[in-house]
Amino acid sequence: MNWTSAKRTIRHAALAAALFPAFVAHAQAPKPSTAPAPTVQQFGGWQLGCQAPQAGAAEACEMQQLARNDQKKPLAGIFFFKHAGGLAMRVHVPMGVLLRKNPVLQIDNGASTDGLSYLRCARNVCIARMKVAEAFLAAMRKGKEATLTFYATESKPITVKFALNGFAEAETALRNKAR
């Protein structure tokens, strides 16, 4: 390796470390955790996971459902958490999606989201988020199935189905836990 290519390699490594601190942290040796293990409750197709609070912090909880592909690997996920006096929703989809077309979550071919927008893509996931209106939550409580649509290309939508059984119970538990 000559001096020019060595300088280029060092510059690229420094840039990667500056832009991707999570990558650098991940590459370091793991530190033993003193945090208590999270608790998980199942409500039909939904899980409520909570991390016990540490000194002076509030308990962190979110409800989720993951859709898996034929190889049982996560394909997409829907997450709800407390935010600004209500609930917010985060959607995870795989890398390689068309970012200029935001994902849409539709309930029983009726109510749908119009505020989901992509925030970022990192590692192997792209994340979209929105604050959820009470009317949409009511439709989810009464619904049977949610359909998440995102795009690989302009003309190639990908649809993923999520069961809504247990949603109302999980939402109630989330609201009660996160007070």
How many CB atoms lie under 10 A from the CB of residue 162?
Answer: 21
Instruction: Express each pLDDT in 78-90 by its tens digit.
Output: 999 988 778 999 9
d(CA 158, CA 179): 36
39-177 has which CATH code? 2.60.40.1880
How many CB atoms lie under 10 A from the CB of residue 45?
Answer: 17
d(CA 149, CA 158): 6
What residue spans define the domains of the chain?
A: 1-31, 39-177
Assess whether pLDDT exceeds 80 at residue 92.
yes
What are the residues whose beta carbons fall under 8 Å from the beta carbon of 175, sequence distance 6 or more?
82, 87
Token duo for residue 38: 């999270």
Instruction: Express each pLDDT in 27-70 by its tens digit.
Output: 344 455 566 678 899 999 999 999 877 766 777 899 999 999 88
Assess whether pLDDT exceeds 80 at residue 5.
no
> How is residue 112 annotated by DSSP?
B
Assess whether pLDDT exceeds 90 at residue 72.
no
- Residues 48 and 61 sit within 8 Å (Cβ to Cβ): yes
Is the whole model's pTM more than 0.85, yes or no? no
